[in-house]
Each structure stands twice: as C-alpha cells, then as structure tokens.
Amino acid sequence: MASSFKLILPSDRMERLQYIRRMFPQAKGRNLIETWQGGRKQALTRLSEVDAVTYGRNRNFINGAVTRLSPYLRYGCLTLQEVSDNVLHRFGKQQSARLISELAYRDYWRQNWYRHGNAIFSDMEDAKVPLGENLLPAYISQGITGLPCMDEVIRSLFNEGYVHNHARMWFAAYVVHWLKVDWRKAADWFESHLLDGDIASNHLSWQWVASTFSSKPYYFNKQSLARFTGEKFCASCRVSCPFDDDYETLSKNLFPNVQTRTKKVYPIKMPEKMAISQHSSVSVYIHDEMLSPTNPLTKLAMPKFFVFDEEMYDEWPLKRIQFIADCLSEMPEVEVWLGDTRSVLLENGVGQVISQNTPNLQIKSMLSPFNPIWQEEEKFTKADVSLKRLERFSRYWEKVQPDILGGDTE
C-alpha cells in the first residue's frame, strides 16, 4: 500500500457500504447482505430474539433456531458473558444449558489459541487417520462440486459469509476426508470467506474434523445429512452419493490404510521486527475483536485508532470489511485509517498503545514497537486449558459448567 490515510465513514448505511467497496477495490466477494448489519445495536436486537428453548431442541437441524450471533461475538460487539447472562435471565439454567455450552465452545477454542499461539496453524497432535495433502480443487472455489448439499454450503459462504455449524462440519469432512485436501489450505480458504471468520474457532474446528485435535476423525453419512436437512437436498439429488453408506464401510473406504502422519508444521507469516517508537503520546489501539462503543477502553480520554492494515486484513472478503465499518460507525470517537498500522501510529506521534489483550500474535507483533499495555478481556470461564485433562472440550465443559450455570442444572 503506497500511503496511509484516514477514512471518513458515511453515516448513511448504503453510502457507507458503497464507500467501502470503492476504498477496497481488491477485496473479494459480494457486498454484505441487508440481514447482516454490523454493530452493537443490531447485536442487541438479535440477542433479544434468541430462543434458548427451541435452540436446545433443534440446533443441529439446518433450519433450527440458531442465534446467528457469531459475527457479533467475533468482533466484540457482544461478549460471551452478556449472551450467557441474557439467556440465563430469560430462560433459566436448565433451558439455557445447551446454548451456553456452545458459547463455552467458542471460549474453549479461544483459550487454546491463547495457550498455543501460532501452533494452532499447525497439527496440534498426530493425526489418527491418514490425511491427504491435495490442493483445494478449482471446482470447490467455483462452487461447483456437483453435489447439491455441498454446493449449497459454498453458495451460502459466498453470498452471506455464514454457514450453519452442522453444514460447516459436513463440508470440512467432505473436503478433508473425501477429497483428501490438506486441512490447513482448506481452513485458510474457508476462513477467508466467512463473515464470522475467527482463527481459533475455524482452524481448530478443521483440526477437530481432521483428527489432529481430537481422538478420532469426524465424518458423516447420507442418512444423517438427510435427517438434519429434512431431505432438502437428498430428495431430488440425482448424483451418485459419496456419502451413501454405513459408517463402517465409509471408514474402510475413507481410511484404507493405517499409515498416519506425525504432526505437520505449517509456516506462518509474521510482521517484521522494528525499532521502538521514540514518540511520547499514548493512544488506544482498537483491533478487530473489540468493536463496541461499550468496550471499557473506548472510555479512556486519549486518541483511539483503528487501522485497516493490508498485512493483517489482506485476505478478508468485502462483506467482512463492510460489517466492520458498520461496527465502527457506532464508535465515532475512533479514528479509522487505511494503510500500514505502524506508519499510522508513527505519523500520529504515538509512542505507546493501550489495547485489549488478544491471542492474535500477528497483532501483538505489529504493535511491539509501541510498548503495548494489554488490558485483559472479560473472562467467560476460569478453567486452565494447560491442564492435560482439559484438552478435550467435553472435559472442559464438565469443569466450567458449575461456574457458569451454578452447579445443578435441574
């Protein structure tokens, strides 16, 4: 990027979306659709519509009462604690337990990101089954697999940037186990199209499917997919279905030999080292996980900067940048810049930044020349994922559940 400059986000939403489109001509994909307006106001509206009871009954069904809160949690418009408090208040412990356990899932992946840092981009454990190393086929990135169920996943990914959790699991299993694509390549690609794209939830979920962060691979069959989609795809599907078998036969076909691999390490690009800033002023650095006007750091009486940095956000789809712009438009005290983070901070005489702690080491390394002070983010649980026995979610949930739900859920 040649130079850095300040963005003036239009207050009118349509103008803002078009403005972002003009300012980010390289950003891939479609515009953010109407139903996905970013920001805290919209997040609170969605939260008020959450139905934890129906969620508990049908979340695994493709048309179930899922919350669609993930982008709002991802960018910090809402915290896990706020969602948990809200549903506990409205529905009580027993009825909220299922939804809260899913919130804890997000927390669990995030705690693992804090603990393992960039290692989550590589195999966390030895694979339990043979894994492939194929590139992502062009027909996946074009959305034409020939399988209506998988094409629908890619269509939602491209149109909305949102995919139901069960569909994400099916798609990841199809790509990793049937097509034998290298999980990391697939995970990077998938994340780069999601509105809620989150390194921990995404990459660790792909590893969970692949079996490099779980005790067995995840795969599924036609019967299961048909059940949870209400036959939506299977009833009229005319192709020879690769998923149409019992689990034993599928396992034999998918994993014909026992040759597994030991942990594979994948490279990760980090910002270059730079000398410490000689300036004296202190500013708040707003990053992409703290986009709420209620974030405590926005209350500090000092300049606040958010930078759309090419190095960090190069792979982001247009809709994600537009969503973030919606969030930032509710935070008028924040200066929004486009360019190189370090140049922006230096140009503005910044010697030190205060920011919210993050497991994202790219952000941390980017800010290292500015003697950063990291304020802890609100904690959802107190569990320590460095304990060996908490390295699987089920045990983690067992441990944190009494704290969150206050013990007995009856």
Ligand X SMILES: Cc1cc2nc3c(=O)[nH]c(=O)nc-3n(C[C@H](O)[C@H](O)[C@H](O)COP(=O)(O)OP(=O)(O)OC[C@H]3O[C@@H](n4cnc5c(N)ncnc54)[C@H](O)[C@@H]3O)c2cc1C
Q: Which residues make up the interface to ligand X (CB under 6 A)?
A: 59, 66-70, 73-74, 102-103, 105-106, 109, 164-165, 168-169, 172, 191, 194, 196-198, 201-202, 205-206
Closer to ligand X by Cβ: residue 168 or 287 = 168
Nearer to ligand X, 4 or 212 (CB): 212
Q: How far is the CB of 5 from ligand X (least distance, A)?
A: 30
Chain-centroid distance, C-alpha 6: 27
What residues contact residue 77 under an 8 Å CB cut-off, 6+ apart?
A: 38, 39, 40, 42, 43, 71, 291, 292, 327
Query: What six digits make up the tokens of 368?
Result: 């290292």
Q: How far is the CB of 145 from ligand X (least distance, A)?
A: 16
N-term to C-term CA, the chain: 57
Long-range contacts of 312-316 (CB under 8 A, 24+ apart): 312/341, 312/362, 312/363, 312/366, 313/288, 315/188, 315/192, 316/27, 316/192, 316/197
328: exposed, middle or buried (Cβ count in 10 Å: 0-12, 13-18, 19+): buried
User: If you search the block for the tokens 């804090």, which residue do you land on?
Assistant: 114
Q: How far is the CB of 104 from ligand X (least distance, A)?
A: 8
Closest contact distance (angstroms) between CB of 67 and ligand X is 3
Nearer Cβ to ligand X, position 9 or 32? 32
CB nearer ligand X, residue 194 or residue 325: 194
In the complex, minimum distance from the CB of residue 326 to ligand X, in angstroms, rounded to a whole number? 17
Supply the minimum distance, in Å, between the C-beta of residue 310 and ligand X: 21
User: For residues 163 and 254, which CB has a smaller minimum distance to ligand X in the complex?
Assistant: 163
Closest CB to ligand X among residues 106, 399: 106
Between 116 and 304, CB nearer to ligand X? 116
Q: What are the two backbone dihedrals, phi and then psi, of residue 305, each rounded to the nearest 5 degrees?
A: -125, 135
- Residue closer to ligand X by CB (options 112, 283) is 112
As a whole number of angstroms, the distance between CA 129 and CA 260 comes to 5
**108 or 233: whose CB is closer to ligand X?**
108
We find the least distance from the C-beta atom of residue 388 to ligand X, in angstroms, to be 22
Distance CA 203, CA 119 (A): 11
Q: How near is the Cβ of 4 to ligand X at its closest, in Å?
A: 28
Least distance between ligand X and beta carbon 197 (Å):
5
